[in-house]
Amino acid sequence: MDYKQTAAEILKYVGTEKNVAQLEHCSTRLRFTLNDQKKVNEEKLKAVPGVMGVVRSNQFQIIIGNDVVEVYDALLKMIDFNHQTTPAVPAEKQKLSKTALDFLIGIFQPLVPAIAGAGVLKSILILLVAMHVMDDGGALYKILVSISDATFYFLPMMVAVTTANKLKSNRLVAIAAVGVTLLPAVTTMIADGTTLFGIQLQNIAYNAQVFPAILCVSFLALMERLMNKVSPKPIRIFFVPMIALAVTVPVTLLFLGPLGYNVGQIFTAAILFLYDKLGFVALTVLSAILPLMVATGMHKTLLPYALATYGELGYEMLYLPASLAHNIGESGACFAVALKAKDETLKSTAFSAGISAFMGITEPALYGVTLQNKKVLYSVMLGGGITGAFLGLLSVKAFAVVGPGAASMSMFIDSTNGMNIVWAIAGFVLALVSSFIFTLILWKEETPAAAAAAASGKPLEGSHDVLNVLCPIDGQVVALDQVGDEMFSKKALGDGVAIIPEVGELRAPADGTIQMVFETKHSLGMTTANGTEILFHVGLDTVNLQGKPFTPRVKAGDRVKAGDLLLKFDIQAIKDAGLDPITPVVVTNSQDMNVVVVKTGQANQHDIILQTQRKEG
């Protein structure tokens, strides 16, 4: 990759330097804070060499993979953050759940490098001691292991910084506020039993706690905003932090700290209760669905749980073992694709992604291979589920919070149970081999002719089983990547299009049989004569409407003709509920069918929007 050229093209298509307010990166993604996301040219971005995909959220994320640091460094040389003059466009309103998720991810994502580095170091030290290469009583060991201990002990301070960044609060004042909870004099006073304003302070060890720090800085940010409004400008520089700290720290020790601590305790207890009652079932399910959680960013919500559990118990036995099953499963699947693929680009991409996943970094594999091929995704989920069940049945524990991979397997060494690491290694092999075999059996490479037709958008030819799919709803036909739900936009459910409806009527796009009408009536599925399986999903998150705006005119098992009315729906009611009525039309068995988008733009029920044809072999 020419990093300079890639960076230049990325900068051009995100709206130039003037549109970039902030830039950071994680292990595989560039994370842009943009003044106006509407200036982004997504189609051009996806065509830039080295770009694996894009994700829209509060931050605009560009997936690069293993070369992200080099591209990031090249970008920094092209952007002058000291001369930003373009005012930020107000962000569009989001649902509370998405806002909360973005908030949590924004706090914990920047912590990953420090946590991962400290975790891998500790796992290596555990291995060296177990092999009697290093003495755990020696000065060098104690200093090195203190790096990991300090990272987690002072985790509240790091959370204070990331929370302050997220809330645009003063980071140093946030550190001062949270630092009080770790001050030896304060911790001793709390342990000895102290009352404040007649209220007994709860005896809490705040080290390694994340929720109290988040609540503390959130309250501090509110106090700063309030004080900035009332403070005289000449004394604002000391008056605002003085009053904000003087109010926030007592409130934290009296109410917010205990609230955050107890929430964390309840959260951890609930997860462990689920694990105790369901045993390996919980780990099986989590391991199987982790590819979908990682694709949507939902896995980041498990990091607070893992940190809280590790801080409380000294080990974790759900999320990290499940991550082992998923990470190595991705690796095995990619190696199978690399072995089986004839296309040189796919072969090299899969091999590189497989090595990254082998070491614990899965996003190149997930976005570059797995989500592009549904049967590879199924193989990873099957292998992950089987491995999760194995690890759950044997109660494998992780003793460092780090992404599991070949370099960090010593995180599973248990000084009181020598078999823990043995079973973890067995799980590593099981995930690698099972996903590899499933992929070899299930995945077939698309023929070059079909791939070229799909890429060019030219009509399919040469067989009587070519199906013309008519537009099922009058409206504006757009590409799936315009859908604000990654399960559709990333084509995890299959290829197709989406329609911005202008008429609240869904009609059959071809002759076929209704296979499913979802109980909340917002979604239908049908199979056509040539075996094309089509899913219609009217609106995003419309499952929450419990069927109110929808009136189905068919039921499962009904045979329909092209043009038959399948469903009536109230577009305005969907919009009034704050939801997007955009309707994905997806071929869910795209792994078996060649799918070509024939038409986008304005269309009605007489227009052909897709063509499908069963793949050869």
Q: CA angle, corner 459, sides to 368 and 371, nearest 5?
A: 15
- For residue 140, the Cα-to-chain-centroid distance in whole angstroms is 38
Backbone angles phi, psi at 131, to 5 degrees: -90, 0
Q: Residue 382: how many CB atoms within 10 A of its CB?
A: 19
512-517 and 467-470 beta bridge pairing: unpaired
Cα gap 497→405, rounded to integer Å: 37
DSSP secondary structure letter of residue 183:
-
The alpha-carbon radius of gyration of the chain (Å, integer) is: 27
Residues sharing a CB contact under 8 Å with residue 584, sequence separation 6 or more, in sequence order = 480, 483, 485, 488, 493, 496, 497, 498, 535, 536, 537
Beta-bridge partners for 200: 195
SS (H, E, C) 305-353: HHHHHHHHHCCECCHHHHHHHHHHHHHHHHHHHHHHCCCHHHHHHHHHH
DSSP secondary structure letter of residue 466:
-
Whether the Cβ atoms of residue 460 and residue 466 lie closer than 8 Å to each other: yes
Cα dist. 319→149, 263, 272, 310, 391 in Å?
21, 19, 11, 11, 11
Whether the Cβ atoms of residue 336 and residue 440 lie closer than 8 Å to each other: yes
Whether the Cβ atoms of residue 319 and residue 306 lie closer than 8 Å to each other: yes
Residue 260 burial (CB < 10 Å; 0-12/13-18/19+)? Answer: buried
Strand order across the 467-470 sheet: 467-470, 608-614, 593-597
Amino acid identity, position 217: V
Residue 115 burial (CB < 10 Å; 0-12/13-18/19+)? Answer: buried
Residue 222 burial (CB < 10 Å; 0-12/13-18/19+)? Answer: middle
Which position has the token pair 């980071």? 171
> Among this protein's residues, is 216 annotated catalytic?
no
- Angle, in degrees to the nearest 10, between helices 155-167 and 211-230: 40
Which position has the token pair 């770009």? 51
SS (H, E, C) 136-155: CCCHHHHHHHHHHHHHHHCH
| Catalytic residue from among 26, 216, 334, 471 | 26
Beta-bridge partners for 33: 22
Backbone angles phi, psi at 124, to 5 degrees: -65, -40
Residues sharing a CB contact under 8 Å with residue 63, sequence separation 6 or more, in sequence order = 28, 29, 51, 52, 53, 54, 55, 363, 367
Cα gap 513→493, rounded to integer Å: 20
Backbone angles phi, psi at 200, to 5 degrees: -70, 125
Whether the Cβ atoms of residue 71 and residue 10 lie closer than 8 Å to each other: yes
Q: Residue 293: how many CB atoms within 10 A of its CB?
A: 16
List residues with catalytic annotation. 26
